[in-house]
A and B are shown apart, each in its own frame.
Chain A
């Protein structure tokens, strides 16, 4: 099975193929070579199912990692193709013309990470339609700082708690003590 994949991909340069297990193959390659890889895998090895596109924000090295998970119903193998692109400007090519499910994942990544896919059919907001802040899944978006800026903390000291404290009970640890 996996030999077949290596044979098909023999002409691609700068590509690292690793067999993680019987039905899992990891491929690392340069971002320019990804469309050629996908065309070969889809056209010659039956990788017709794009299971997912994953995005990871590697903020320390200033890169986004994109992982294309492909499944072949003929070879019963899952290939994960890893590429890295610069975090700034954060633009990559859409693979929608090869895999229609890419439309959902690319729209989702655009919304959550701010990465733009050229040629994707729909880049409008989908889940966060009322959100004006930065893309929230980026590592430099701090949820806690955002909450502190946006909302007011209110002291919660209801009567039942006061009664309890008069009897000598109550809350002995507060969240700020634990952190």
Chain B
């Protein structure tokens, strides 16, 4: 064709297109999709698409005994399962007017903080990968594995420990466990400096994450944001301190905040919380040997255990934010209704949709991971 005969085809003036992020996407810890509409490489609309991990936990729990559900609940959040067990156990204890012995409460807090450490290592390891810094991800996952080793020693299970029961925990800590945990904490604390050099002081990460997915404190409160994502906007609120449960009121720790509310700030909050979790665990290692008592109260025959009629809304601070269980009993051997309020139900749906609008395509995965959402909490 001779150049003078060439005539350009005319298109309607649009450069908009749609792109499916997921459901298998490294930007989030599980199967979850985000359908984004783009103009150029700028997102103009985002819609969350959930349901890939729906297993009907809430319905399943209505058909199982109070004690059987302990095997179901940790599966609702894979990276941070312990708060699920503890929150469900606390709910059943509230209904039955039981209280776990003090020693069991200390052991529960120890697990909760170990789980928080593991979840945060996983979270910012994953975030690093979305900015191309894979070394950090390998380190994070490897160090998390060392915590899982201690979980295995304590509970027998690496991820789903099924160790907390209504009324306490299954068994006492093994001999020498606390020394090995202390050695692990020394190692992890020494590692934090490495993480700072590799990641948190890395200009690639800082320049990529700054101002990405930023929200103000007012927006965060309006959208129902909780946990580290809320603290990254400057509000010092932590369920552990402000609505304490178990023995958190006897422990010393700081509530870490940042002001910027962007992806960088959210990661820095998690970085600060690693240090605080280590601090809490050190206090537990020091004081647990002197806490007397059994690790669980005698409970009725689990196969014929009726909880009194009533309802309870119990909440704890998971590594992602405010986790709550609404449990209703009509006096039977099974729950009448269980609702799981996972923090990610807010973060992964409407907050993610709003923060993605206006972002560049390459930052969407970063926003997803900086919110540290856990898709099975949305799907249940």
- Which residues, 321 to 353 on B, are CB-close (under 8 Å) to A? 322, 324, 326, 328, 336-337, 339, 341, 345-346, 349-350
- Which residues, 44 to 68 on A, are CB-close (under 8 Å) to B? 48-52, 54-57, 67
Q: Which residues of A contact B59 (CB under 8 A)?
A: 136-137, 143
Whether A52 touches B350, Cβ cut-off 8 Å, given contacts A101-B224, A136-B56, A137-B58, is no
Q: Which residues of B contact A136 (CB under 8 A)?
A: 56, 59
Complex alpha-carbon distance, A59 and B313, angstroms: 22
A106-145 CB contact bits vs B (8 Å, 1 = yes)?
0010001000000000000011110000001100000100
Complex alpha-carbon distance, A136 and B58, angstroms: 10
- Which residues, 359 to 380 on B, are CB-close (under 8 Å) to A? 378-379
Q: Which residues of A contact B224 (CB under 8 A)?
A: 49-51, 99-101
B243 touches A54 (CB 8 A): no
Interface centre among A52, A73, A126, A143 (most CB of B within 10 A): A52
Count of inter-chain pairs, beta carbons less than 8 A: 78
Q: Which residues of B contact A54 (CB under 8 A)?
A: 313, 326, 337, 339
A128 touches B221 (CB 8 A): no
- Which residues, 59 to 117 on B, are CB-close (under 8 Å) to A? 59, 63
Tell me whether B50 is interfacial, beta carbon within 8 Å: yes
Complex alpha-carbon distance, A128 and B235, angstroms: 35
Complex alpha-carbon distance, A23 and B345, angstroms: 24
Contact size range, A: 20 to 34
B223 touches A100 (CB 8 A): yes
Q: Which residues of A contact B222 (CB under 8 A)?
A: 48, 100
Of the residues B311, B336, B346, contact of A101 by C-beta under 8 Å: B346
Q: How far is the CB of A59 from chain B (nearest CB, A)?
A: 10
Q: How far is the CB of B378 from chain A (nearest CB, A)?
A: 8
Q: How far is the CB of A85 from chain B (nearest CB, A)?
A: 16
Look across to chain A and name the residue whose beta carbon is closest to the beta carbon of B48: A126
Tell me whether B175 is interfacial, beta carbon within 8 Å: no
Tell me whether B51 is interfacial, beta carbon within 8 Å: yes
Complex alpha-carbon distance, A73 and B337, angstroms: 28
Complex alpha-carbon distance, A73 and B220, angstroms: 13
Complex alpha-carbon distance, A147 and B119, angstroms: 36
Tell me whether A92 is interfacial, beta carbon within 8 Å: no
Tell me whether A103 is interfacial, beta carbon within 8 Å: yes
Tell me whether B54 is interfacial, beta carbon within 8 Å: yes
A104 touches B346 (CB 8 A): yes
B341 touches A51 (CB 8 A): yes
Complex alpha-carbon distance, A103 and B224, angstroms: 11
Tell me whether B266 is interfacial, beta carbon within 8 Å: no
A15-40 CB contact bits vs B (8 Å, 1 = yes)?
00000000110000000000000000
Q: Which residues of B contact A108 (CB under 8 A)?
A: 345
B313 touches A48 (CB 8 A): no
Tell me whether B150 is interfacial, beta carbon within 8 Å: no
Q: Which residues of A contact B313 (CB under 8 A)?
A: 24, 51-52, 54, 67, 69, 78, 80
A76 touches B345 (CB 8 A): no
Q: How far is the CB of A5 from chain B (nearest CB, A)?
A: 16
Q: Which residues of A contact B337 (CB under 8 A)?
A: 54, 56-57
Q: Which residues of A contact B324 (CB under 8 A)?
A: 51-52, 69
Q: Which residues of A contact B349 (CB under 8 A)?
A: 104
Q: Which residues of A contact B51 (CB under 8 A)?
A: 126-129
Of the residues A50, A69, A73, contact of B235 by C-beta under 8 Å: A73
Of the residues A56, A57, A104, contact of B350 by C-beta under 8 Å: A104
Complex alpha-carbon distance, A101 and B311, angstroms: 23
Tell me whether B205 is interfacial, beta carbon within 8 Å: no
Q: Which residues of B contact A100 (CB under 8 A)?
A: 222-224, 350
Look across to chain B and name the residue whose beta carbon is closest to the beta carbon of A109: B339
Look across to chain B and name the residue whose beta carbon is closest to the beta carbon of A126: B50
B223 touches A101 (CB 8 A): yes
Q: How far is the CB of B200 from chain A (nearest CB, A)?
A: 29
Q: Which residues of B contact A129 (CB under 8 A)?
A: 51
Q: How far is the CB of B325 from chain A (nearest CB, A)?
A: 10
Look across to chain A and name the residue whose beta carbon is closest to the beta carbon of B219: A100
Q: Which residues of A contact B336 (CB under 8 A)?
A: 56
Complex alpha-carbon distance, A57 and B339, angstroms: 12
Q: Which residues of B contact A103 (CB under 8 A)?
A: 350
Look across to chain A and name the residue whose beta carbon is closest to the beta carbon of B244: A23
Q: Which residues of B contact A24 (CB under 8 A)?
A: 313
B326 touches A78 (CB 8 A): no
- Which residues, 211 to 253 on B, are CB-close (under 8 Å) to A? 221-224, 226, 235, 237, 242-243
Query: In the complex, given contacts A57-B337, A76-B242, A101-B223, what are 13 additional A-B residue pairs having Cβ atoms less than 8 angstroms apart?
Result: A51-B322, A52-B339, A54-B337, A56-B311, A69-B313, A78-B315, A103-B350, A127-B378, A127-B379, A128-B54, A129-B51, A143-B56, A143-B63
* 5 A-B pairs closest in CB distance: A101-B224, A127-B51, A52-B341, A54-B326, A56-B337
